[in-house]
Homo-oligomer: A and B are copies of this chain.
Amino acid sequence: VEAVDVAQLDALLNPLHAADVADILEQISSDERAALLALWHGGIDGEVLSEIDESIREEVIEALPDNVVADAVRELESDDVVDILEDLEAPAQEKILEALEDADRVAVEQALAYPEYSAGRLMQRETVVAPEHWTVGEATDYLRGAEWLPDQFYHVILTDPRMHPTGYVTLGRILSSGRDMRLKDICEDSFRTVQATDAESDVAYIFNQYHLISCPVVDDAGRLVGVITIDDAMNVLDEEHEEDMLRLAGVGDEASVSDGPVETVKQRLPWLVINLFTASLSAIVISQFQNTIATLVALAALMPIVASTGGIAGTQSLAVAVRALATRDLTRANAARVVRRELVAGLLNGISLALILGVAGSLIFSDWHLGLVLGMAMIVNQIVAALGGVLVPLTLERAGLDPALASGTFVTTLTDVMGFFAFLGLATLVLL
């Protein structure tokens, strides 16, 4: 880039896959990106725009000449255009909508009319259908004569005369069957449809659970309106994982390594401020025991051990529960048993840690009362941690909220407060 040599850039970047070009654009700094795009945009096609991370897509689109953007989006399928448009501000959206041909623009605008994160946004409107009474031969002739077919399709969807999908046939089955075979007789068992208004997370779950490759989408009246393919579902699954992991850690779910420092602060500071207040609860608890601490200052040094081990235990229990909720392995049917399991596991962990810490504390401070207090506080806090880790996300889920959201801060606060309270409270009772 520094050498301002377009030919060399062409030679370097053109042979790369769109996903790799997008990765390069993401990894260089914002200034380098502007310089690169000003010099070179021959290879920025629709695919590169699709691949690029949302956090810098707007920047890239604005840096490009209008005609490059127009050419790029025109070659994309409707679901990819929708995916790009969703995250853009109004002026950049306009720029792209204007570039589309009328028919495409209408299709994209219809897709945008579905709620965000719905199957309707995810689907491509281009489908390959056949009347259910057709034979393999008729379908083959139709496909061979078709002017246009989607880039990727894996099934021929069968519909009744009113466009209700009734089954689908894999291309492999069509290719391997005789021409006289009726499509109806070689349908897949796995056939199911989703509603355009279904949440995309439910769609991803269905793909993962039933190993689907593609799935027809129907409207309220049960009529075929599009199809979702596994690559889109895989994408959603990937984003959901990211969301869970980042939310659990208290970061805005659109955090990315290509964000600048100011965006990073915007995503993280709110949780830190909330934590400042929740941590003040711990401070208030501790300050109730100032007299105890003044009498035995060693307590101040020991109290973080109980709290921090509780924090780790809470995080463990929480991670397992959030993951199980996401994969729907934790449901109403087994919630009571999982909670009981956590209770027993917390008790056993607590006893083990209490033995180690109690003996060590007794020996180091030559005071078995102190060891006893440490051990008892540890047992209490391990139980609180194990239960909190599963009950907090379960409660959030029941309340219709994301179980990953805020539960990290919540559980840690719980284990901190209970850890300090149990330890200092017991110390006041036993040692003074």
Contact = CB atoms under 8 A, between A and B. Distances in A.
Interface of A: 17, 19-20, 23, 26-29, 53, 140, 143-144, 146, 149-150, 152-154, 170-172, 174-178, 190, 207-211, 213, 230-231, 234, 237-238, 241-242, 244-246, 248-251, 255-262, 264-265, 268-269, 271-273, 275-276, 279-280, 282-284, 286-287, 290, 293-294, 297-298, 300-305, 307-309, 311-313, 315-316, 318-324, 328-331, 333-334, 337-338, 341-342, 344-345, 348-349, 352-353, 356-357, 382, 408-409, 412, 416, 420
Contacts of A234: 207-208, 230, 234, 237
A348 B190 CA distance: 53
A356 B283 CA distance: 16
Contacts of A230: 213, 230-231, 234
B304 A286 contact: yes
A302 B282 CA distance: 9
Q: Is the interface of A mostly helix, strand, loop or mixed?
A: helix
B269 A329 contact: no
A308 B412 contact: yes
A39 B237 CA distance: 37
Contact of A293 (B172, B244, B293, B344): B293
Contacts of A420: 304
Given A245-B244, A256-B329, A272-B309, A144 B237 contact: no
Contacts of A176: 143-144, 146, 149
Contacts of A334: 27-28, 257-258
Given A268-B345, A352-B269, A319 B249 contact: yes
A47 B344 CA distance: 33
B237 A276 contact: no
Q: Which of A152, A213, A249 has the most C-beta atoms of chain B within 10 angstroms of its own C-beta?
A: A249
B323 A144 contact: no
Contact of A283 (B262, B302, B313): B302
Contact of A248 (B175, B237, B245): B245
A333 B29 CA distance: 10
Contact of A276 (B149, B309, B338): B309
A260 to B, nearest CB: 7
B308 A416 contact: yes
A143 B175 CA distance: 6
Nearest to A315: B249
Contacts of A259: 341
A329 B27 CA distance: 7
B29 A316 contact: no
A318 B353 contact: no
A265 B316 CA distance: 11
A304 B329 contact: no
Nearest to A357: B276
